[in-house]
Amino acid sequence: MASKSINIFDILNKKSDGSELEDEEIQWFVKEASKVTNSAINDSQIGAMLMAIKLNKMTPREAASLTKSMTFSGTVLQWPEEWQNILVDKHSTGGVGDKVSLVLAPALAVFGLKVPMISGRGLGHTGGTLDKLESIEGFQVQQSEERIREIVEQIGCCIVGQTKNIAPCDKKLYAIRDVTATVNTSILSKKAAAGIKTLVMEMTYGEGALIKTRQLSEELAREIVKFLFIHIFLITHTIDVGKELGMNIIAAMTKMVSPIGKTIGNAIEVLEAVDTLNGKGPKDLIDVVCKLGACLLQSTNIAKCFEEAEKMMRSTLNDNSAAEKFRLMIIKQGVDAKLASQLMKDPREVLKLASRKTEIKSNSNGIVNVIRGLPLAKVLREHHAGRFSVEDQLDYKVGIEILKDEGDKIEKGWLFKV
């Protein structure tokens, strides 16, 4: 029997009516969406497809099929067999002041875990992980697949951009950030293509996050995994889409109204990350890093229990072992060795921060009730710390340093330094 002819019009009509797509139809869509030229579908049709998915959802089988098709639309990184239980990564749905990855990846590498972290750029109020790292002179986010393998083998971690061969379909889908129903598929396909075996997903919600309510964040988490509540973290070994990809997925819920840490920007967030690696970071940032890291240490059986794992993570920030991994990583990714050492000793002298500073003061006595990160980040975007469109160029020097904590008393004192 001859195979039926597949076209985008039938697929769109089918999904728009709420019908379930066949594996062959999903595979065809991913194949055509991955093409740079001569594709049978255009970007507007891809957008229509994603909107149909958002409105009518996907069945678990469809989601697994789409994710697997996206994963294998390009190269899947191959690692030594003995690494299969130690390949880990973290992904966050994002928020203001999120520099967690910069600290977490090298801290995990201290314990022998392998962290080939494929990160993204920011399209919103502040830059993404790659934008932050590019504020370090010489740092190269684009690395070949061979070079990624070399860095991970020698150092234990890298933080790189997606190569053109890794999950190419993801690049088009990920650009449509507002279609939240496709975020899980995009994230998982990219992580699976990197060969990850255990993934911790930080599901952020609140005014300072991309997902505004806990309900929506939980719904997204349920599309990725089935989970149980353990304090503020959701830990699972029962996996839907992840199981199909051979990944153990851990989901963690984090409320985000205030920024993570005390800085917002690009270079200034690297400064705070370096301070944290040297044991001098803000408590909230250290807590998030150590709890997410503890999930991975426990899941890979490096630690016997969560409490032990959290203590192990904190130790890497106190004894400078995570800082040393970060220094070696950035050297491998293009930073001059002398400059890298100087950065770890005195980041304010190395990073190019804004020379013009404005101190914003309170004009009355009182108590800081809440620090809302989103309005601050929107101000920074107007000054080119973030993007309105993919083509926008960032000014890495622009940033805000928050000088007070929630609950602090103020006597006509400083609040922010811009």
What is the secondary structure of 159-180 as a DSSP string?
EEEPPTTSSHHHHHHHT-TT-G
Q: Known catalytic residue: 177?
A: yes
Q: Is 10 a catalytic residue?
A: no
Q: Which one is catalytic: 73, 92, 186, 217?
A: 186
Which of the residues 98, 170, 240, 395 is marked catalytic?
Answer: 170
Helix axes 100-109, 321-332, angle to 10 degrees: 100
Active-site residue (options: 91, 121, 262, 397): 91
Q: Which amino acid is at 141?
A: V
Map residue 296 onto helix, strand or coil: helix
Please state, in angstroms and rounded to a whole number, the distance separating the CA atoms of residues 246 and 243: 5
Residue tagged active-site, from 68, 90, 190, 314: 190
Estimate to the nearest angstrom the gap between the alpha carbon of 184 and the chain centroid: 12
- The helix/strand count (H/E) of the chain reads as 18, 13
Catalytic residue among 147, 177, 255, 404: 177
| Single-letter code of the amino acid located at 29 | F
Q: Catalytic residue at 91?
A: yes
What would the DSSP string read from start to end of 53-88? HHHH---HHHHHHHHHHHHTTS------GGGTTTBE
3-state class (DSSP) for residue 121: coil
Sign of CA dihedral 360, 363, 366, 372: negative
Residue 115 pairs in a beta bridge with: 157
Strands (E), 108-179: 115-119, 157-161
Distance from C-alpha of 194 to C-alpha of 76, rounded to nearest angstrom: 6
Q: Taking Cα atoms as reference points, which of 90, 138, 78, 51 lies closest to residue 289?
A: 90
Residues 282, 416 contacting (CB under 8 angstroms): no
Enzyme catalytic residues:
91, 170, 177, 186, 190
